[in-house]
């Protein structure tokens, strides 16, 4: 079949674009021809419909007037007509694309999931009705999961969300990334969906120290005998990085330092009395300024050496103005342990990255972890699945769990054989359940023929 995978953008580092790339690779291995359709093509090849662009100025105006305040239109009806007019432009171009490219099956990604592109959602539904093009709608997250879309400025916006996001059409199958979304979609709309988890390429060579990244620690002023604990996610409130600070602070307690003393570190250093315990945040800063300031203040209060190093991290390695910029995986290579304290994730890509890097993790058992991941056989140190939120907006868990986690981490760091066994076992589980090969077994039945009923 000739399959078009569609989104507002492609070839970028957002999670949807990355998952689309994985689907394309696997579907091509299954023998299909796959092309991208998007509003912008980023660093890859794609058929472009400009009106689909993620930040199209007219769509930005629709979003503002639909969810914030009606400021650019004299009435809700005028806004509604503008949205419908714009949707007709997209619909015409989409039908032309389907017909000219002889598309057998369309895979919209999040176009029917969020309320961001109201005209696009309408256009895709109307176009596939008229062309009778089979679709497999890939939903990464839904509008009811986001505060942004909870208070439309007029009931007709709610009606659009109910009708088109997603649409219940006979020739459209639905795919979600976790069991919670599957259940919610059924309860809210009566729509059945197949769960296809996020995956990672476990067939490529393992990451390691090489000529480019051998000086990564030096570049961020971390010594070879220092204990480097990594938070690889973006810096955002739902990542609950404050829990990571609590864990690192507990590892710094005298009884834990004493146990580490003179022991070899996983990255080949030796923990000495002069060794630092450094908490490295490698991700983009996407939080409010108050949250970031609060993290820094908490780290200072707890005596945690917090390093924000994203200015040295890029999507891929490069040298700019004589200065190295490393890939995120270079940070994994040089880490001794990884924290993953998120309280909310659609799935959890960084979890798979750490497993691929053969690094052990401490995790908070966020809801999707509990429903989709916990039973698969991974071995992680747990911070439980219950938390409270302070007046300052910080997440807290029972301090006994922090103490137990720190002790378990130190025990693993001081037992090379146990460290190796845990990381190898986790790698084996992930390769079986969440590899490209596994994705092929999930997708093959869905794409077995061009008739979607």
Reply yes or no on whether the pLDDT at 450 is more than 70.
Answer: no
Secondary structure class of 172 (helix, strand, coil): strand
pLDDT at 451: 55
| Cβ-contact 5, 25 below 8 angstroms | no
Q: Do both 138 and 185 map to the same domain?
A: yes
As a whole number of angstroms, the distance between CA 277 and CA 167 comes to: 51
Q: Do both 273 and 370 map to the same domain?
A: yes
Q: Do both 417 and 441 map to the same domain?
A: no
Task: Assign 138 a pLDDT band (cuts: 50, 70, 90).
Answer: very high
| Cβ-contact 198, 352 below 8 angstroms | yes
The answer to whether position 263 is within a domain reads: yes
The answer to whether position 453 is within a domain reads: no
The answer to whether position 204 is within a domain reads: no
Q: Do both 227 and 192 map to the same domain?
A: no
pLDDT at 346: 87
pTM of the model: 0.89
Give mean pLDDT, residues 273-288: 93
For position 22, which CATH number holds?
A: 3.40.50.2000
As a whole number of angstroms, the distance between CA 164 and CA 295 comes to: 40
The answer to whether position 209 is within a domain reads: no
As a whole number of angstroms, the distance between CA 24 and CA 44 comes to: 12
The DSSP element (H or E) to which 47 belongs, if any, is strand 47-48
pLDDT tens for residues 409-449?
A: 999 999 999 999 999 999 999 999 999 999 999 999 999 86
The answer to whether position 207 is within a domain reads: no
Task: Assign 147 a pLDDT band (cuts: 50, 70, 90).
Answer: confident
pLDDT at 32: 96
Reply yes or no on whether the pLDDT at 452 is more than 60.
Answer: no
Q: Do both 243 and 366 map to the same domain?
A: yes
Q: Do both 154 and 234 map to the same domain?
A: no
pLDDT at 43: 81
Q: Do both 189 and 277 map to the same domain?
A: no
pLDDT tens for residues 195-254?
A: 999 999 999 999 999 999 999 999 999 999 999 999 999 899 999 999 999 999 999 999
Q: Do both 426 and 441 map to the same domain?
A: no
Count of Cβ atoms closer than 10 Å to residue 50 Cβ: 11
Domain that holds residue 139: 2-199+437-446
Average pLDDT value over all residues in the chain: 95
The answer to whether position 339 is within a domain reads: yes
Count of domains forming the chain: 2
Q: Do both 252 and 314 map to the same domain?
A: yes
Reply yes or no on whether the pLDDT at 128 is more than 70.
Answer: yes
Q: Do both 442 and 422 map to the same domain?
A: no
CB-based contacts of 389-395 (< 8 A; 24+ apart in sequence): 392/294, 393/237, 393/290, 393/291, 393/294, 394/242, 394/294, 394/298, 395/240, 395/242, 395/243, 395/341, 395/343
Q: Which residues contact 171 (CB under 8 A, 6 or more apart)?
A: 128, 132, 133, 134, 135, 452, 453
Tokens of 163: 């009708």
CA angle 373, 374, 378 (to 5 degrees): 90
- What burial class does residue 38 get, using C-beta atoms within 10 Å of its C-beta: 0-12 exposed, 13-18 middle, 19+ buried? buried
pLDDT tens for residues 328-378?
A: 999 999 999 999 999 999 898 899 999 999 999 999 999 999 999 999 999
Q: Do both 249 and 153 map to the same domain?
A: no
Give mean pLDDT, residues 179-200: 96
pLDDT at 364: 98
pLDDT at 392: 87
The answer to whether position 208 is within a domain reads: no
Give mean pLDDT, residues 147-168: 96
Q: Do both 157 and 188 map to the same domain?
A: yes
The answer to whether position 353 is within a domain reads: yes
pLDDT tens for residues 76-127?
A: 999 999 999 999 999 999 999 999 999 999 999 999 999 999 999 999 999 9
């Amino acid at each position: 079949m000739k399959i078009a995978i569609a989104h507002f953008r492609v070839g970028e580092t957002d999670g949807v674009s990355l998952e689309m790339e994985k689907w394309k690779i696997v579907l091509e291995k299954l023998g299909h021809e796959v092309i991208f359709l998007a509003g912008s093509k980023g660093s890859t090849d794609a058929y472009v419909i400009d009106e689909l662009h993620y930040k199209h100025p007219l769509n930005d105006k629709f979003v503002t007037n639909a969810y914030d305040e009606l400021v650019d239109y004299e009435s809700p009806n005028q806004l509604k007509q503008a949205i419908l007019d714009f949707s007709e432009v997209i619909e015409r171009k989409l039908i032309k694309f389907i017909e000219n490219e002889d598309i057998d099956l369309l895979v919209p990604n999040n176009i029917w999931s969020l309320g961001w592109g109201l005209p696009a959602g309408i256009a895709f539904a109307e176009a596939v009705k008229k062309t009778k093009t089979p679709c497999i709608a890939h939903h990464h997250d839904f509008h009811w999961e986001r505060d942004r879309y909870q208070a439309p400025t007029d009931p007709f916006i709610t009606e659009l969300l109910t009708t088109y996001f997603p649409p219940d059409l006979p020739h459209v199958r639905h795919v979600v990334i976790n069991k919670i979304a599957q259940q919610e979609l059924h309860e809210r709309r009566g729509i059945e969906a197949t769960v296809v988890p996020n995956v990672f390429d476990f067939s490529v060579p393992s990451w390691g120290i090489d000529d480019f990244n051998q000086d990564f620690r030096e570049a961020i002023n971390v010594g070879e005998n220092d204990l480097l604990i990594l938070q690889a996610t973006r810096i955002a409130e739902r990542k609950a990085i404050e829990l990571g600070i609590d864990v690192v602070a507990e590892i710094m307690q005298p009884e834990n330092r004493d146990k580490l003393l003179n022991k070899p570190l996983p990255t080949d250093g030796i923990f000495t009395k002069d060794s630092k315990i450094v908490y490295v945040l490698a991700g983009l800063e996407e939080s409010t300024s108050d949250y970031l300031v609060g993290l820094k203040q908490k780290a200072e209060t707890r005596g945690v050496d917090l390093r924000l190093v994203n200015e040295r991290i890029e999507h891929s390695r490069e040298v700019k103005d004589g200065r190295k910029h490393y890939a995120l995986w270079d940070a994994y290579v040089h880490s001794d342990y990884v924290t993953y304290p998120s309280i909310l994730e659609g799935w959890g890509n960084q979890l798979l990255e750490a497993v691929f890097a053969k690094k052990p993790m401490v995790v908070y058992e966020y809801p999707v972890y509990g429903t989709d991941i916990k039973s698969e056989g991974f071995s992680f140190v747990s911070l439980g699945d219950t938390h409270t939120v302070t007046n300052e907006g910080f997440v807290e868990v029972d301090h006994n769990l922090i103490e137990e986690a720190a002790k378990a981490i130190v025990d693993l760091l001081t037992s090379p054989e146990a460290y190796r066994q845990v990381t190898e076992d986790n790698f084996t589980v992930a390769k079986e359940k969440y590899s490209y090969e596994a994705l092929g077994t999930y997708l093959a039945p869905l794409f077995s023929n061009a008739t979607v009923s």
